[in-house]
Amino acid sequence: MRSAYLTGLGTSFPGPAIEQSEIWDGYFEPRSGGDLVARRIFASAGVDRRHSAVNPLVEDVSGWSTGERMRRYAVESVPMGKEAVAAALDDARLPASDVGLLEVVSCTGYSTPGLDIRVAADLGLPPDAQRLVVGHMGCYAAIPGLGTVADFVVSRGRPAVALCCELTSLHVQPADGDRGQVVSHALFGDAAAAVTLVPDPADGALEVLDVAAVTDPSTSDHMTWEVTDLGFRMGLSPEVPRVLARHVRGMVTGLLDRNGLSLGDVDGWAVHPGGPRILDVVAEQLELAPGALDASRAVLAERGNCSSATVLLVLDALRSAGLPRSGRACIALAFGPGLTLYAALLRAV
């Protein structure tokens, strides 16, 4: 049977990274009212620095309307998206004129004509290239996005590109003492990441073998992403790690079982770093070896949680480390509203 192969990956970040301590000292601490718990949350988030298209030390967007934020998204997302897609095409040595589908994944901004049209036009994708926008699914959206473009490649025999572009800095909320808001403000950064998939194997490619999902609707209030008059507001329950612990092992082992593999066959773990406790729970439940999630922790430290783009940043870090090795398997795993878990099984060619 025909397969889809990930042959290119590109990333883009807005401006130089901002130190976590600067973000706290210069913006959030003065608005915290001396909240020592908020200080501890920022200090223990596992984030050392991150990128922001809208630097809170320069611009305070907390009072901006949703319309103002969306107009800024339209401005800031295009150069980031173009840079990430161009890098992914270059990495795959694939001309833009060969692309049959461009998919854009984002939960942080919308406009029409949108990022998909502008990137396709500016990079020279063919006029008959199909476009798809996946919106508001949250941090796990890269995985169903990857599955969708893989299905297109398999069914049509043409290359495809998936772009995740997230500008979380646009959604800073007014100070109100909500601990969930403090956590999200401590974690999130901005990034774009793109992958190129083709129908033919190549050295160093990752074959997309399978995708799995589990949604627990009984916990749908544990993680929310609500459109308000002041941007998008996150709702986050401290119960999320507990729910994740209940589902992650069964989902991952089920995905591996139906492909004739076991946990011991996995040579690389690209786990979405929703926060340090999330990574700890995954490592505990899957009984991973020490260091198995080093790439995830490094991305969290250097970039923060960049929503849907993050798991692709981790996959890029794994590839740079030579993982997974030839013929071995890799799992990409992410989580988000629903409460939803998504995983993709990949194999190095």
pLDDT in tens, the chain (349 residues): 689 999 999 999 999 999 999 999 999 999 998 899 999 999 999 999 999 999 999 999 999 999 999 999 999 999 999 999 999 999 999 999 999 999 999 999 999 999 999 999 999 999 999 999 999 999 999 999 999 999 999 999 999 999 999 999 999 999 887 888 999 999 999 999 999 999 999 999 999 999 999 999 999 999 999 999 999 999 999 999 999 999 999 999 999 999 999 999 999 999 999 999 999 999 999 999 999 999 999 999 999 999 999 999 999 999 999 999 999 999 999 999 999 999 999 999 9
Q: Would you state the pLDDT for residue 157?
A: 97
Q: Would you state the pLDDT for residue 91?
A: 98
Q: Would you state the pLDDT for residue 229?
A: 98
pLDDT digits (tens, 9 = 90+) for 311-334: 999 999 999 999 999 999 999 999
Of 348, 99, 315, nearest to 209 by C-alpha is 348
pLDDT digits (tens, 9 = 90+) for 45-77: 999 999 999 999 999 999 999 999 999 999 999
Q: Would you state the pLDDT for residue 71?
A: 98
Q: Rounded to an integer, what distance in angstroms lies between the CA atom of residue 144 and that of residue 210?
A: 11
Q: Rounded to an integer, what distance in angstroms lies between the CA atom of residue 336 and that of residue 272?
A: 10
Domain topology for 206-348: Peroxisomal Thiolase; Chain A, domain 1 (3.40.47)
Q: Would you state the pLDDT for residue 234?
A: 94
Q: Would you state the pLDDT for residue 142?
A: 98
Parts of the chain belonging to CATH 3.40.47.10: 4-198, 206-348
Strands 191-198 and 206-215: unpaired
Q: Would you state the pLDDT for residue 179?
A: 87
Using DSSP, state whether 229 is helix, strand or coil. Answer: coil
Give Dmax over CA atoms of the chain in angstroms.
61
Say yes or no: domain 4-198 is CATH 3.40.47.10: yes
Provide CB contacts within 8 A for 346, sequence distance 6+.
6, 206, 207, 208, 209, 324, 329, 330, 331, 332
Q: Would you state the pLDDT for residue 17?
A: 97
CA distances from 203 to 138, 214, 254 (A): 32, 32, 28
Q: Would you state the pLDDT for residue 189?
A: 98
Using DSSP, state whether 194 is helix, strand or coil. Answer: strand
Q: Which residues pair with 227 in a beta bridge?
A: 232
Q: Rounded to an integer, what distance in angstroms lies between the CA atom of residue 157 and that of residue 179?
A: 48
Contact predicate 330/316, CB 8 Å: no
Residues with a known catalytic role: 139
Q: Rounded to an integer, what distance in angstroms lies between the CA atom of residue 331 and that of residue 114?
A: 31
Q: Rounded to an integer, what distance in angstroms lies between the CA atom of residue 69 and that of residue 59?
A: 12
Q: Would you state the pLDDT for residue 176?
A: 87
Q: Would you state the pLDDT for residue 178?
A: 86
